[in-house]
Amino acid sequence: MEDNSIIVLATAKAKNGSEAELEQLTQALVEPTRAEQACIQYDLHISDDKKSFMFYEIWTSKEALDQHIAAPHLQNFLEKTKGILAEPLDVTLWKKIS
């Protein structure tokens, strides 16, 4: 049976002085995202300097990820982080090969 799951690494880096706000916004994503039916895993990590936040995500399929991206809680996050990110979100998609 083919595994259609998709792994996501998404990193957000806060502007100086916006670290606490970005942490609060990223934390607010965890509960509603984990409640999504197609979410297999959704873990939030913070860097040692407390400026960068990384999500490690596993979704049942690319289509499920697309639905997550369109979800109101994620769209709200994207809107609220426009002025507090030091650089654009870094999002890469991965497939497990072994």
| Segments making up each domain of the chain, as ranges | 6-94
Q: What's the pLDDT at 95?
A: 95
Per the structure block, which two tokens stand in for 42?
């959704």
Confidence of residue 1 (pLDDT cuts 50, 70, 90): low
Does the domain at residues 6-94 carry the CATH identifier 3.20.20.370? no
Burial class (CB in 10 A: 0-12, 13-18, 19+), 98: exposed
Reply yes or no on whether the pLDDT at 2 is more than 80: no
**CA dist., res. 34 & res. 87, Å (int):** 26
| DSSP H helical ranges for the chain | 19-34, 62-70, 72-80
Closest CA to 73 of 30, 44, 37: 30
Q: What's the pLDDT at 39?
A: 98
pTM of the predicted structure, to 2 decimals: 0.92
Reply yes or no on whether the pLDDT at 78 is more than 70: yes
Per the structure block, which two tokens stand in for 24?
């609060």
